[in-house]
Chain A
Amino acid sequence: MIMRTTSASSWSPEHAAARVRRPRVSARAVALALAAALLAGVGWAAFAPVRVDSREALFEIPRGTFARRMAGEPAPILPDEISLTLGLRDVLLLRNLDEVPQIFGPTLMMPGQSFRLPFRQAASYQFACTAHASGQMTVSVEAHPATPWMRLGWRARALWRRVWSKSAT
Chain B
Amino acid sequence: MRRISISLLASIALLGAALAHAQDRALFAGVFDPPRAAPAFSLPGSDGMPLTLERFRGKLVVLAFGFTSCPDVCPTTLATLAGARRALGGQAADVQVVYVTVDPARDDAARMREYLAAFDPAFLGATGTAQQLAKVREEYGIAAERVARGESYAYSHSSFVYLIDRAGKLRALMPYGHAANDYAHDLRILLES
Chain A positions near chain B (C-beta within 8 angstroms): 92, 103, 106-110, 112-118, 120-121, 123, 125, 128
User: A92 to chain B: which residues have CB within 8 Å?
Assistant: 30
Known: A117-B175, A123-B177. A128 touches B158 (CB 8 A): yes
Interface contact B34-A113, CB-CB below 8 Å: yes
Residue pairs across A and B with CB atoms within 8 Å: the count is 48
Interface contact A106-B175, CB-CB below 8 Å: yes
A164 to B108, CA, bound (A): 51
Interface contact B141-A115, CB-CB below 8 Å: no
User: A112 to chain B: which residues have CB within 8 Å?
Assistant: 34
What's the tally of chain B residues with a CB closer than 8 Å to chain A?
18
Q: How far is the CB of B174 from chain A (nearest CB, A)?
A: 10
Interface contact A108-B33, CB-CB below 8 Å: no
User: B30 to chain A: which residues have CB within 8 Å?
Assistant: 92, 106-107, 115-118
Interface contact B160-A106, CB-CB below 8 Å: yes
A92 to B160, CA, bound (A): 15
* B140 interface hit (Cβ, 8 Å): yes
Show 23 residue pairs from A and B whose CB-CB distance is below 8 angstroms, ordered by the A residue: A92-B30, A103-B141, A106-B30, A106-B141, A106-B160, A106-B175, A107-B30, A107-B141, A107-B160, A107-B173, A109-B32, A110-B36, A112-B34, A113-B36, A115-B31, A115-B33, A116-B30, A116-B33, A117-B173, A125-B175, A125-B177, A128-B143, A128-B158
From A107, A109, A113, A118, contact of B28 by CB (8 A): A118
Residues of B19-69 at the interface with A, using a CB-CB cut-off of 8 Å, are: 26, 28-34, 36
Interface contact A115-B173, CB-CB below 8 Å: yes
Interface contact A108-B140, CB-CB below 8 Å: yes
* B139 interface hit (Cβ, 8 Å): yes
A109 to B32, CA, bound (A): 8
User: B143 to chain A: which residues have CB within 8 Å?
Assistant: 128
Known: A107-B141, A107-B160. A121 touches B177 (CB 8 A): yes
User: B141 to chain A: which residues have CB within 8 Å?
Assistant: 103, 106-108
Interface contact B36-A116, CB-CB below 8 Å: no
User: A113 to chain B: which residues have CB within 8 Å?
Assistant: 32-34, 36
